[in-house]
Every structure is written in structure tokens, then in C-alpha cells.
Amino acid sequence: MDNEAFEMHGETFRGSSEELKKEVLKPSWSLLKVFLVCLLAGLLSTALGVLGLSLVYGGSGPTSRRGMDLPKELPPSPGPEEKSLEAKFQFLNHLKSSKELQGPFQELQVLLVPQGSAWVGVISADAEVATFNVSAGQVVFFPRNSVHWIKNVGPQDCLFLLFFSTHEELETLELDEVFFSTPEDVVARALKSRGGVNFIRTFKKPREAQALNLPANLEELLHNVTYGQTPAHLVWRFFYDLRGSATFPFPGGSFQWARYRRDPSGLSALEKIFSQSLNQHEDTLTLAALRLSTNSLGHPHFHPNANELGYVVSGCGQAGLVVPQGASDFNVDVGDVVFFPEGTQHFLKSTCQEDLLLLLAYSTGQQLETLRLRDYFKGTADHVLAQLFHKDQRDFQKIP
């Protein structure tokens, strides 16, 4: 062997067997350790992953797989009250059994006096004052943002039905609240009172807000009380005698109206004033008294330009309506309030031995529009009805 390099390597391998084993086996043991550590880490990671999934989703099989699609926080289960609610309560309210609230009201538009008598005042935007007495069956109109008051002047309690032309929460601003919220020097300069700020400081703010301000020493405070009456041509902008107005009969019932009419012919001079006043103000209401005799029907119809709200004064009956979600009908009794949304076909039927009397309010100061089932059914071509209902075209001639 002449190759020196080969000889040098040969000498190295001729060393002791123990050294040879160490040199050869050392790298092999290092690779095995790495492999075992990686295997152990993989097994541990897999076990932790399986444990985590089981804790999050729970269960096994198909049920746990469906659970993976659920949100992290489930909505609360409906309570017993939510489960028991009926669809009719979207359109029916038992006003007589509702919570009694004592407080003032704003956005007042129409007031009807079913009982008692009162003295009413209205201050319009032009600072013109109208004061007058009202009694049962009469209507008072308060334009939006007008200052107004009502004082009972009769021997018995005065009961009012209030209709408001807003679907938002009612807002109220009282005169005394405004007074005490305005700086004293500003009030003194605005009122030009004798004594200036010192006189204004003699006013004491009540401890509690009062809708009915009745001081204990009322008789000591009042002197020479009078209830003035404004000339009729000013009063009839805000006043209407619904009980004494014309009756419009139909088979089984009648209507009385406090409303705007595009054609004023047939109205008295004072009725024309009220009609025009309603129409001149924004977001006013049309009011009506509907009377149905026993077992009579207010035929199905709808109003394209107004929501309808009704209060049952006497009698009992049945109400029904059709909405895109389906039909609903329910019984109504004294003190109940019914609501028929704009464009919703509805009917009323008397089911008692006495007349069914309702006071109805419509959310329009324009002329109320009404389309009845019998009108649009009969107005549709017979051949269209035949195709729609799968009936012989001649059958529809039976409908008068």
C-alpha cells in the first residue's frame, strides 16, 4: 500500500475496540433521542387537542358535530309570558285593566269628553287665546306645540279620552317647569314684572312635579275666579260638538264625524271652521263615533291613508283584521282599545243585546280614504274572479 492517506486511516481504525464503538455509536444514539422526543411531543399535542375539543363541544357522535355550528352564547329561552302572548295583542289593549299613570301629556291633538264638564284654554302660535266650556260628547283639538289647559268646573269627575298623533314616546313640557328652568333675570326681563328679580324669587318651586296643581290653601290663593268665553268663530277652530253633529246612517249602524272634508258643501259655517283648522295643522286626527246595533256588521274595509285606533264605550263585539302574516280576530268589550294599521283590512261586529259604541281616531288631517271589500270585489272583472277562485263566471252575478 503506497498510498499514505490510506495508511493513515488504517492506523486510526486499528485503535482499541472500545474507542471504535464509542465513535461509531455516538451519532446513532443522538438521532434516536431526537426521534423519541418528537414522537412524544406529537402524542402529547394530539391528546391535548382531543381533550380541548371534548371540553368545548361535549358529547360524542352526531350531536357533538351539530353543536360545533352553534354560537358561543345561546340566546336566553323565552320566559313564560313571552310563550303565552297571543298575536291578537298586537292589535288589542285592555285599557281598563292597564296600569294607571298620573302625569301630564304633550303632543295632545284630540280630546273627547265622555263625562262631566270642563273649562278649556288654548293659546295658538300667534298668541291668540281661546277659552270655552266643554261637556260630554264634545271634542277639543289642541294643535301640536300649543299651550293649553283643562280645568274641571262641574260637580262630578270629568273623564277625558285623549288621542295623540305620535307613535313615539309622549313628551311633555309644563309651564312651571319652563319657568323654574329659566334664569331669574331672564324671566324678570321677559315678564316685565314689578319688583323685577326680587319678585321672581318669591316663586317657590314645588318639591314634586305635579300634573294637577292643587295647593292645600287653594281657597286663600284664588280671588274673583272667572271662566271667560271666547267668540264662537275663534272657539270653533279647536272645538267640535260631535254629539250634536249630523248622523250618517248605514244598514245596522251609523257614523258621526269630526273631520276635514275637501267638499265643504253641507257643512254649517262653524263646522267649516273646524274642518279647515284640522287641515291647516300638520299631523292632526280625524275622529268618529261608530254605533252598531245587535248582530250588525261594520263591513270589511281598509284605509289607504290612515292608521285607526278605537275605544269601546259600550256594548261588546268582535273585531278582525288581515295582515300579510295572517288573519286575526278577537272579542272586544267596554274599555278595550283596538288598533288597525294603515292598509289593513278589518271589520267590527256587534254581538251583545245593546249597541256597540266605539270612538275612533284616524291618523290623518286630510280627507279619510276608505276602500270596502264589497266595492273592490265587485269592481274586479267577473272573468278575473272566475280564474282566481276557480268558479263559473256566471256565479259572480249572484253578488248584488
Residue 205 is predicted with a pLDDT of 84
Residue 11 is predicted with a pLDDT of 40
| CB-based contacts of 261, cutoff 8 Å, min separation 6 | 267, 275, 367
Cβ(258)–Cβ(287) below 8 Å: yes
Assign 81 to helix, strand or coil.
helix
Residue 38 is predicted with a pLDDT of 65
On the question of pLDDT at 64 being above 60, the answer is no
Cell digits of residue 118: 270642563
Cβ(268)–Cβ(325) below 8 Å: no
On the question of pLDDT at 34 being above 70, the answer is no
Residue count of the chain, please give it: 400
The pTM of this model reads: 0.71
Q: Transcribe 194-209 into DSSP letters.
A: TTHHHHHTT----SS-
Most confident of 16-20, 41-45, 240-244: 240-244
- pLDDT tens string 182-235: 999 999 999 999 999 999 999 988 776 665 667 788 889 889 999 999 999 999
Residue 125 is predicted with a pLDDT of 81
Name the pLDDT band for 98 (thresholds 50, 70, 90): low
Structure-model confidence comparison of residues 208 and 361, the more confident one: 361
**Chain mean pLDDT for the chain:** 79
Backbone angles phi, psi at 212, to 5 degrees: -115, 105
Structure-model confidence comparison of residues 377 and 32, the more confident one: 377
Angle CA(104)–CA(276)–CA(243) in degrees, nearest 5? Answer: 65
**Average confidence (pLDDT) over 137-151:** 91
* CA–CA separation, 29 and 66 (whole Å): 48
Distances (CA, A) of 249 to 212, 216, 256, 291: 41, 50, 9, 9
On the question of pLDDT at 25 being above 60, the answer is no
